[in-house]
Amino acid sequence: MVQGYRFTLNGEAVELEVPGMRRLLDALREDLGLTGTKEGCGEGECGACSVLVDGAVVDACLVPVCQIDGSDVRTVEGMADPLTGALSPLQQAFLDLGGAQCGICTPGMLMAARAHLDEGGEPTDEAIREAIAGNLCRCTGYTKIIEAIASAAEDTIALDRPSVD
């Protein structure tokens, strides 16, 4: 049962004709060719497929396309500046501070961190740990990830910018 669904993806209008129960994860990776969003567990445990729907972080493996009709979807591909390619402050901080090892969890970590900071979440260790509690890093490099998020938050505050990217 294929239907047309419309939403915005990283700021651009998208129309997709797919079964409504298709996982947003599959629509992004298979139908739209955006492979930045990773599949880890496929059951909402690991957060590798984290994306933003209307600003809220969700697991794309648990959200069917029928539920994002009319929504605003953001993925890791939308973080860098589309014109210059300049990395967002969060991405730059992950790069500078070694917040990525094998890289599989990184897109999801970035999206969870972005949701936290965009909502005005505290850049404290405890608040960041809660914000990324749904994102597993099997290289167990959490310390540098947390430092990178805190650093990006401080840079953003210092620049007095309303959003981190």
Partner 1 sequence: MPVEPPVTTPRTLPEAYSFLVSDVYRPMAGGTDLMVQITGELGDQPERVLDLWQLDELRGIRVDDGALVVGALSTYTEIRRSPLVLEWLPALAEAAATIGAAQIQNRGTLGGNVVNASPAGDTLPVLLAGDASITLGGERGEREVAAKDFWTGYRETARAADELVLRTRFPLQPARTLRFRKVGTRRAQAISKVVMALAYREDGGVWRDVRVALGSVAATPIRVPQTESVLEGAAPRQTVADHAAATIASEITPIDDVRSTADYRRAVTERILHRMLREEGGW
What share of residues in the chain are helix, strand, coil (percent, to 5)? Answer: 35, 20, 45
- Asked if 59 is part of the footprint of partner 1 (rule: CB under 8 A), the reply reads yes
From candidates 4, 11, 69, 103, binder to partner 1 by CB under 8 A: 69
Residue 125 is a binding residue for partner 1 (CB under 8 A):
no
Nearest CA to 115 out of 61, 165, 67 is that of: 165
Smallest gap from residue 5 Cβ to partner 1 (A):
10
Q: State both tokens at 26.
A: 């599959």
For partner 1, the closer of residues 18 and 152 by Cβ is 18
Of 83, 98, 104, 81, give the one whose Cα is nearest residue 163.
Answer: 81
Residue 128 contacts partner 1 per CB under 8 A: no
Amino acid present at 117: L
Chain positions contacting partner 1, by CB under 8 A: 1, 19-23, 26, 30, 42-45, 47, 50, 53, 56-59, 61-64, 66-67, 69, 112, 115-116, 130-131, 133-136
